[in-house]
Structure 1
Amino acid sequence: MKKTWTGWGPTADQPEQHYLIEPRHLAGGGDIRYVTEYLRASGWTDRSYKGGLPMVFDSPDRTVRIGYDPHAMPGGWTISGQAAEHQGEWHATLTTGVPVEIVAGLTDTLTKTRSAHAPNPWAPLEQNEWETERGQHFTAVSPDRNTWLQYHQNSPGQSHWWAGARTEHGRAWDAVFTSTTPMHLIEGFSAALADPTPVMRQRGHVPATKWIRTTSVSVRPSQLGAWQQTRITAARATTWARNSWAARQGNKAPATGPYASASGTQQRR
């Protein structure tokens, strides 16, 4: 029997004060279980060390590894993909201040079958009124001018993707992706980055910055648990459907890594 998510609030189902925060890119890191529980529900293998940190997850096809260590220098997320046909080895690092909802834009995409459409990381940003700046580096900047996504080219043949955010106190977070990172993963990240939907943080976990807007809400632990269970159930349903399809095709395992296309064959970025 599959274990039902029970939330992470106190046992008594008493309303607690939370805050909806916007823009989301300044909301702070959040609870990493938003990412890790989705990976577990999607069939990823938890290879974390005893005690829980650092956390390590491997994809079902063992081509991608996701790690989280807040005590490393710099602390945060590391995501690495093996080289495959038409796709070089790639690597991404995201510091602890990256909101988990934005991290999930990348990690959730890793659990899904790749769409057949040509990815465009700039499209979600432009659709949400981010300004694009063309120069030595192509850059998209948020409407509040406090976060950005940039394709940074140091010299011919040397480039990388860089995203970051700042508050009045300085840099809030950074995310760096090698130029070989599959483009649809950058698009998943940029879509979550540009999403105008507020994110929720509990009392005591609201960043100390004047550059955010907060709305106080009263939420029961059972509500939080139900919302998270919905997310986990969706991941399990998608995984079950993919595995069932693979079984009907006579495959040993479905293609779930970043190199899987909609047809199950490998394609160029």
Structure 2
Amino acid sequence: MSKRQQPWSGWGSAAHPEQHYLIEPRYLAGGGDLGHIAEYLRASGWTDTTRRSPATIAFVSPDRMLRVAYQPPGGWQIQGASTGPGSSWQVALSPQTPVEIVAGLTDTLTKARSAHAPNVWAPLAAHGWNSERGPHFTATSPDGNAMVQYVQGEPGQQHWWIGARNEHGSVWNATATSTTPLHLLQGLTSALAAPEPVMRPRGHVPPSHRIRTTSVSVLPQQLSAWQQARTAAARAATWARNHTTATRSRPAQPTGPNARTR
């Protein structure tokens, strides 16, 4: 795009395209922008508690029952408080877990649970992942670089393990307690197996021969618009959910010719 064709952005200045890369498979793309998750949670009505926490990012759900935090070098800690025996749960994801995959879980935290029974394995099977029943139930990506495993052991030791590796070794991994709600894990595996590439800026492309990259030029306002569209969708969904809840909680008003008026 020539300077004459570039969008005007103010007196004496012009917005210049920045080089980014579309990376696939997404599970080898590297960590990404933490704001992808933080801004969505904020737009969904979660409370930002970062100032009161040693974590880089810390959010608490409106009902105070859920917590999402990112703290290097440990990475992501996502927790659900106990509401009864054995109901507390935790998911830990290492720092280089792509934020788009983490968001598969954290976005699901903000939404109403579907009436359909969750199936953690269904998104993987739909995208050609190979499943194997052995000592542990395992699903492996078609290229062999990512894995989801339900580790069976002694009572109380069962857990989920998810991870990805390239030619240099492990890139990231995640563990989840066996009590983690399955619809949250389905959100995670849906994001994990999605075939769409994710975007990273120049200088943030992992050094690996197992990824495919496509160079693209992106205007800063395009990046801002994409983020704003994501947060706007979160605000709209939150408003709709709160409005529905408020409507259902209102007492029914009498109707008909004998109804009293106030």
RMSD: 1.7
User: How many angstroms does 1:178 deviate by?
Assistant: 0.2
Q: Is the counterpart of residue 105 in structure 1 residue 107 in structure 2? A: no
In the alignment, the residues of structure 1 paired with residue 214 and residue 53 of structure 2 have an alpha-carbon distance, to the nearest angstrom, of 35
| Mapped partners of 2:53, 2:119: distance in 1 | 40
Deviation at 1:52, TM superposition (A): 8.3
Partner residue in 2 for 1:247: 246
- The residue that corresponds to 2:30 in the other structure is 28
Distance 1:49 1:107 in 2: 20
Cα distance in 1 for partners of 2:53, 2:47 equals 16
Match of 2:47 in 1: 45
Question: Which ranges of structure 1 fall in alignment gaps of 5 or more residues?
Answer: 1-10, 252-269
SS class of match (2:67) = strand
Cα offset for 1:247? 1.5
TM-aligned CA deviation for residue 57 of structure 1: 0.4
Where do 1:1-269 residues align within 5 Å? 13-49=15-51, 53-71=55-73, 75-85=74-84, 88-250=87-249
* Number of equivalent positions: 238
1:248 Cα shift?
1.4
How much has 1:26 moved relative to structure 2? 0.1
State the distance in 2 between where 1:143 and 1:15 align: 35
Q: CA deviation at 1:158?
A: 2.2
**Greater relative CO, 1 or 2 (CA 8 Å, sep 6+):** 1
Query: Within 2, Cα distance between the matches of 1:52 and 1:202?
Result: 28
Please give the per-residue CA displacement for 1:118-165, whole angstroms capped at 9, x wherever unaligned. 000000000000000110100000011011000001224420000011
Q: Which runs of 5+ in 2 are unaligned?
A: 1-12, 251-262
Cα distance in 1 for partners of 2:170, 2:159 equals 19
1:215 alignment partner, SS class = strand
- Range 94-103 or range 41-50, more displaced: 41-50
Distance 1:245 1:180, change over 3 A: same
Deviation at 1:70, TM superposition (A): 1.4
- Aligned equivalents of 1:12 and 1:178: distance in 2? 50
Query: How far apart are the structure 1 equivalents of 2:147 and 2:53?
Result: 35
CA drift of 1:13 comes to 2.2
How far apart are residue 53 of structure 1 and its match?
4.1
Q: Secondary structure at the match of 1:124?
A: helix
Letter in 2 for 1:69: Q
Contact 2:96–2:171 (8 Å) recurs in 1: yes
What SS is found at the alignment partner of 2:214? strand
